[in-house]
Structures are given as structure tokens and as C-alpha cells.
């Protein structure tokens, strides 16, 4: 993943988004949450926590600073007529749910059926990573990955399946560990041709 520069200490306007708070604002918010939880942010064990949390958020949510479409811009046409599906399975990701900001940990399986152009397989993994490193719901993330690949590569079809565990369900609320959620999006040939869809699902170990 590309390195993302640390934000400076001043508020600034990001295109399409509200003014981003300063680093000092973020650290002050963490100190407020520590006090709200019932602890003292000035005690030795917590004194450096606001800075560490702010730095962690830079990593957790670095996807906001990358345009996923740009990742797919460099493609290759010299494929000697290859026109079978390209599948990348078990792409591990870590995200955070937008409702409780709790971790979502899972794997994504991504496939597309080329139409003259292919892209480096690492780029498919990066697309997953970019969308995962944002506040998410799994359904939306599944659609975003599939639709971006479809829009930029214009292939004959795209398929995305995501399986993930949601800590907002396992560590709070109903407390149901071991539960995973599965979502999928099929476009083009994967939606219209049952044999193509079955082949993809077989390749990722699904039925």
C-alpha cells in the first residue's frame, strides 16, 4: 500500500469532505473519550495514548487518501489471447464498521473475465485494501470493489465475494462469536451465465 503522509497540525479542506480536524483536535477527542470511559488520560499508562490512537487512525483509514480507480489504470493488452477468468482468492483485509467503529476482519475473493485488458493481480488486492481502510458496511464494500473494477477495466464480468467476522457483533450487543457474514456481487457474465458463476464459486471453494 502507498505510504500516506501524516496530516499536518492544522485543519485543512479535503476535496468533497468537510474540513479535517487538526492532529491536536484528534488527540483531544481521544483524551475526552478516556475521561468518559472513567480513566485519567494524564496517568503514565495513558499519557501517550492519544498520539498512538491518532497514528493508528492514519493507518486504519488510509483508504480515504487513495483513488481506487487510479490503481487500475495501468493494464496490459499483450496476453496472447487469454480470455479465461482471473481469480484472486483469500485476500485478507481489516476494516472498521461505520456503526460502532469496531473491527471487521475477513477475506475477499475477486474475479473478472478480461475483455482484451488485464491488470496486475496485486492491484486487485490493493482495491480491496483501499475500500477496507475506510469506515464501512460489508455490503457497501462488496459493491464498491466490484463496481470499480467493472467501470475501469470494462471486462466481460466481475465477481466479488466477501466473508468476514464483525467485532460489533462478537464483542458487544448479541455477543455471538464465530459468526461470519457473506456478501457477493456478480456483474456481466458472472450474473448472466450460471456456468461461469459456478466455475468461480468452485474456484474459491464455494458451492
Q: In the annotation, is 17 catalytic?
A: no
Q: Which of 100, 167, 199, 206 is catalytic?
A: 100
Q: Which of 24, 59, 70, 98 is catalytic?
A: 98
Asked if pLDDT for residue 149 goes beyond 80, the answer is: yes
Q: Which of 99, 144, 163, 175 is catalytic?
A: 99
Q: In the annotation, is 98 catalytic?
A: yes
Q: How confident is the model at residue 11 (pLDDT cuts 50, 70, 90)?
A: very low
CB under 8 Å to 113, separation ≥6 — which residues? 83, 84, 85, 86, 155, 156, 157, 158, 188, 189, 190, 196
Q: What are the tens digits of pLDDT across the range 82-127?
A: 778 999 999 999 999 999 999 999 999 999 999 888 898 899 999 9
Q: Which of 97, 109, 136, 144 is catalytic?
A: 97
Q: What is the pLDDT of residue 80?
A: 67
Q: In the annotation, is 10 catalytic?
A: no
177 to each of 37, 53, 93, 97, 166, how far by Cα in Å?
24, 26, 19, 16, 9
Return d(Cα 106, Cα 25) in angstroms, integer: 32
Q: In the annotation, is 47 catalytic?
A: no
Q: What is the pLDDT of residue 76?
A: 81
Asked if pLDDT for residue 64 goes beyond 80, the answer is: yes
DSSP symbols for 48-100: THHHHHHHHHHHHTGGGGS-HHHHT--EE--STT--S-EEEEEEEEEEEETTT
Q: In the annotation, is 73 catalytic?
A: no
pLDDT more than 90, % of the chain? 73
The SS3 assignment for 146 reads helix
Q: In the annotation, is 97 catalytic?
A: yes
The SS3 assignment for 129 reads helix
Closest C-alpha among 174, 162, 168 to residue 204: 162
Q: Which of 96, 109, 136, 138 is catalytic?
A: 138
Q: In the annotation, is 99 catalytic?
A: yes
Q: What is the pLDDT of residue 40?
A: 97
Amino acid at each position: 500500500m502507498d505510504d500516506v503522509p501524516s496530516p499536518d497540525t492544522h485543519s485543512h479542506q479535503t476535496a468533497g469532505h468537510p474540513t479535517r480536524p487538526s492532529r491536536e483536535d484528534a488527540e483531544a477527542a481521544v483524551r475526552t473519550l478516556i475521561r468518559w470511559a472513567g480513566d485519567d488520560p494524564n496517568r503514565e499508562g495513558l499519557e501517550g495514548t492519544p498520539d498512538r490512537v491518532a497514528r493508528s487512525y492514519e493507518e486504519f483509514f488510509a483508504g480515504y487518501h487513495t483513488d481506487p480507480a487510479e490503481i487500475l489504470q495501468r493494464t496490459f493488452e499483450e496476453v496472447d489471447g487469454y480470455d479465461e477468468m482471473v481469480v484472486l482468492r483469500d485476500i485478507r483485509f481489516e476494516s472498521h464498521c461505520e456503526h460502532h467503529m469496531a473491527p471487521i476482519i475477513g477475506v475477499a475473493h475477486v474475479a473478472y473475465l478480461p475483455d482484451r485488458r488485464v491488470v496486475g493481480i496485486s492491484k486487485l488486492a490493493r482495491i480491496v485494501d483501499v475500500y477496507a481502510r475506510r469506515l464501512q458496511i460489508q455490503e457497501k464494500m462488496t459493491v464498491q470493489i466490484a463496481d470499480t473494477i467493472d467501470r475501469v477495466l470494462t471486462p466481460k464480468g466481475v465477481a466479488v465475494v466477501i466473508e468476514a467476522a464483525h467485532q460489533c457483533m462478537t464483542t458487544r450487543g448479541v455477543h455471538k462469536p464465530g459468526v461470519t457474514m457473506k456478501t457477493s456481487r456478480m456483474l456481466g457474465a458472472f450474473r448472466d451465465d450460471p456456468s461461469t458463476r459456478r466455475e468461480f464459486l468452485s474456484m474459491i471453494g464455494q458451492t
